[in-house]
Structure 1
Amino acid sequence: MKLRLTVIGLILISILTCAQDKNPSNKEIGHEIIVSELTIPWGFTFLPDDSMLITEKTGELIHFKNGNKTYISGLPEIYVRGQGGFMDIILHPNYKNNGWIYFSYASTEGKGNGGNTTIARAKLNDDTLTNLEVLYKASPNSRRGQHFGSRLVFDKEGYLYFSIGDRGNRDVNPQDITRDCGKVYRLNDDGTIPEDNPFVDVQNAKRAIYSYGHRNPQGMTLHPETNEIWTHEHGPKGGDEINIIEKGKNYGWPVISYGINYSGTKFTEITKKEGMEQPLHYWNPSIAPSGMAFISSDKYGDWKGNLLVGSLKFQYLDMFTMEGKKVMKEERLLEGLGRVRSVEQGPDGYIYVGIENLGIVKLIRK
């Protein structure tokens, strides 16, 4: 009996190891802890003086400067539930002149019980946020704790893109453009709707929607050469995806998917359908991706142009060697430090990675 249990245990370990270790581990990498003692550093960004603003999911905004942490006051009321809380943060591309900081969080404002994803901007005056403006609030609220999405990106034309997950309501929200959630949105920097958004003339549509059919995008970045918006999103059991976001396109969730229910049953029989976009890449098994950045500096030699994606599930940084839009190779970096939540390239050209229950580390190639 003991022998049988041992054999079963070894088989399970082997299966899990194979699932996790299908891509090689790159050993020519090290790290330096820059900010320690963070719990869930959901997002972070660099100010012009190279100090950092860091969001803690639990509802704190930290200004890290000269080795010291200052907690910023003046935040809106933040609804912390499940995967929701204080999420991403970025600067306006012209921050030096206008001082605008953009961030996402879960809020109880509006219709319904619970909360939903909110996009706002504010200015930093000493240690206080001022001039707070809510730019977009998804509705209705929900008490479900999953799929708030919530990455933010500016493109080179100054448009603001953000993601909101399907909020756990997959059969209603993602495919319906008259409803929020399960979408990528585009706004002008002041929160107004661009006149050329794809659904501005569609009756009852949410006019801020830029693409739809998404599950829970927690990675979004601007391609440094093509100006394309790249995202990744959580699949169910299997089927995490990387997508290039195009105006008005339908990315298929939940009609098509490379994943299955967590119980092992199927919710769809198809992976492709006319009028729905195929992912550039998908993971099976899921890695639970979060955070996303391209290496566009020369700090890492021939890694320039590679794509980086954090793994919450397997606790590593996934590095893609790209040839245009084709994945040539995947490698694992920073294994075993913790759940990788956020990834950014700093103004110094180095890659910085937010790791849960550790902090923010700088990626160093040996």
Structure 2
Amino acid sequence: MTTLETLTTRWADLRQQQPNLRIRDAARQLGVSEAELLATGTGKTVVRLAGDFRELLKQVATLGHVMALTRNDALVHERKGTYESVSFNGHVGLVLGPDIDLRLFMSRWTFGFAVDENGRQSLQFFDAQGQAIHKIYLTEQSNRTAYDALVSQFCSDDQSDTLLIEPAPDRTVDQPDEAIDVAGFQAGWLAMQDTHEFFGLLRQHGVGRQQGLRLAPDGYAQLLTMEQVKQAMTLASDRAVPIMVFVSNPGCIQIHTGPVQKLVQMGPWYNVLDPLFNLHLNETLIGQVWLTKKPTADGIVTSLELFDKDGQNVCLLFGERKPGKPELESWRAIVAAL
């Protein structure tokens, strides 16, 4: 039996044993990537895609109302709406609709598939390691004719059912704190005029993100707990305070802006289950939570930053805000209550 046949058989056996097991968890149990497992369905339920995925994404608007999904190990972010104002500057892309709001890092987008899961159709994209970057699911309101045309246009000549997966790059190790110009870093933090300057500040001083919060100026970063995150979400729901929820992986950041209403705990998963926005957060995979304050030209901007147990930033929470406007006082009141 070939390795592929073995994998296909093992997955079929696993599905019989655990019919509700999601493909990401199945891949982990089988010791392969999600993309490798998905590719075993090529020619049956899966079509491999190729071409410039930037051009494909520009045409997703033709599908109409869809559900966008971006996830990492700890969180799943699902937002319904239409793709609007899709643009690219080199390999960095933006989708800036009122519903679907994305930041795209296309150098990470290696594999694409059109998938039919018992009639549920989607476009799914993965990085070179076979990890999911972004998925676009059709809804009852979607234009299926446009979907078929898009799949036909970007159908790959290569419909083989195996993938050449690259090993994961080594994780960057933080410098020792004593090697950092902490005074210079803190001065740079206090001089920020925009929250986006924070990434440049970290790079300038060779500081890891979590390390940077630990070395923040006094009063500008504070460790919290998951219970306090849930408290903030509950207060936002009870007080109808619109918030921004960012969930990221190396190839995509997906943002929800607006209220959160139905909050549900299901085992280790803390969920937002609203008509247009769903969030699923596995509390057991969160390593640290920080409350941060960053100066901007519009005043202090406050956020909650969630990190996984590997120290990777996986989620950001803000009060709803547009550049040029100060932070919502109602959001500041929620943070103060923590």
TM-score band, normalised by shorter chain: under 0.3
Tell me the TM-score normalised to structure 1 length: 0.22
Tell me the TM-score normalised to structure 2 length: 0.23
Higher relative contact order (CA 8 A, sep 6+): 2
User: Going by fraction, where is helix more abundant, 1 or 2?
Assistant: 2
Structure number, greater radius of gyration: 2
User: Going by fraction, where is strand more abundant, 1 or 2?
Assistant: 1
